[in-house]
Amino acid sequence: MPPDTTPATPQPATQDTPRFASPRVLVVDDEPFNREIIVEFLDGAGYRLDEAADGEEALAILHRAPDDFDAVLLDRMMPGIDGLEVLRQIKASEALRWLPVIMQTAAAAKHQVVEGIEGGAFYYLTKPFEPQLLRSLVRSAVAASRTQRSLRHEVSQSQGLLGLMDKASFSIRTPDEARRLAALVAHAAPAPQHAVLGLCELLLNAIEHGNLGLTYQDKSRLCASGDWDAEVERRLQLPTYAQRKVTVDFHRLHDAAEVLITDQGDGFDWQPYLDIDPARAFASHGRGIALSRKLSFTSLEYLGSGNQVRGRFGVLAGAAASSAIG
């Protein structure tokens, strides 16, 4: 199998978003040989790699520089503080809870995967693993981290009168418009920093899977080859899809806020995606709806064929997010 040399490049920075250095990944494993293998597999992909030999060292490194890391590759079985406890402490930390964690493990029984998912790990890597799968999962984790960080930064920079908005309607077409609209509408939610992440996930799903007709299988194949973003841009230019819009209707209620997101696609079977399926814990994508449901909304309801979704923000949105991000 040829090596994957796709560079791990962050999203382009603008004058309104922070400029990030090369992605930084912490590799945690008590076996030096395992760390050497991971470092070798990721070498040349543009990452800054740090290593920790146990859970205590990993937590110390992360707490010293909580904003510097983009992902953690975490061994589940370690002496002392094991991987699950490290994961729980990461997700319990206000400074670290946003950090995506890839759990590397030889313990891949369903109940063990569920245990990790409940702890906040939404990426799984089973030992022994293929280099291409490792690189694919790390790319996905870093991309998620960079997107989350950029969105939270944009929310912090755009505070204003939007919190007074009672009703509004918007239409968007591109992923960039989805990210900017998510940051805008999030200010009407009780916890904007949490709401923006789920909003962005649903808007991107509506564009990419709804309007552009890209399936789960398409994304698996295109992410593996590194061609996902290019295919999205290509389809946006095709006459078949160029005029399609996603509409977003916002309505403030007495003690909450609602958004209704409608795309112009054919819909999809949404029910399998409402919760994290342990079978998809090993994939590089397919958890956006479940994450949105847990981290941003008190209720999430798909309507009709699945090309419409209604989400409600409530006072519990921020609390739900504290343990949901992985």
Query: Which CATH number is 255's domain given?
Result: 3.30.565.10
Q: Which residues of the chain have pLDDT under 50?
A: 1-19, 315-326
Distance CA 244, CA 59 (A): 46
Tell me if 164 is assigned to some domain. Answer: yes
Structural domain that includes position 28: 24-149
Give the pLDDT of residue 7: 40
| Phi/psi of residue 263, nearest 5 degrees | -110, 175
Same domain? 171 vs 306: yes
Q: Looking at the DSSP assignment, which residues form a beta bridge with residue 75? A: 104
313 and 177 in one domain?
yes
| Residues 204 and 314 both lie in one domain | yes
259 shares its domain with 216: yes
Q: What are the tens digits of pLDDT across the range 13-58?
A: 333 434 457 899 999 999 999 999 999 999 888 999 999 999 999 9
305, 279: one domain:
yes
**Domain-terminating residue out of 122, 149, 176:** 149
Measured CA distances, 223 to 29, 137, 139, 216 (Å)? 27, 10, 9, 10
- Who contacts 31 (Cβ-Cβ below 8 Å, separation ≥6)? 75
- Supply angle C-alpha 324, 139, 103, rounded to 5: 50
Instruction: Give the model confidence (pLDDT) of 271-314 as tens digits.
Output: 888 877 776 666 767 777 887 787 788 889 999 899 999 999 86
Helix (H), strand (E) at residue 123 = strand 123-126
Output the pLDDT for position 262: 97
> What is the structure's pLDDT at 254?
75
Give helix 110-119 / helix 83-92 axis angle, nearest 10°. Answer: 30
Across the strands, what pairs with 71?
25
Q: Output the pLDDT for position 275.
A: 79
> 178 and 93 in one domain?
no
Please, what is the end-to-end C-alpha distance for the chain in angstroms? 29
Q: How many domains does the chain have?
A: 2
* pLDDT value of residue 161: 54
Is 236 part of any domain?
Answer: yes
Q: What is the pLDDT of residue 281?
A: 67
119, 162: one domain = no
**pLDDT value at position 4?**
41
Does residue 9 fall inside a structural domain? no
Q: 164 and 42 in one domain?
A: no
Q: Give the end of a domain, one of 149, 180, 204.
A: 149
Whether 37 and 142 map to the same domain: the answer is yes
User: What is the distance between the alpha carbons of residues 187 and 178, in angstroms, rounded to a whole number?
Assistant: 15
Answer yes or no: is 16 within a domain. Answer: no
Q: Is 1 contained in some domain?
A: no
Model confidence, pTM: 0.67
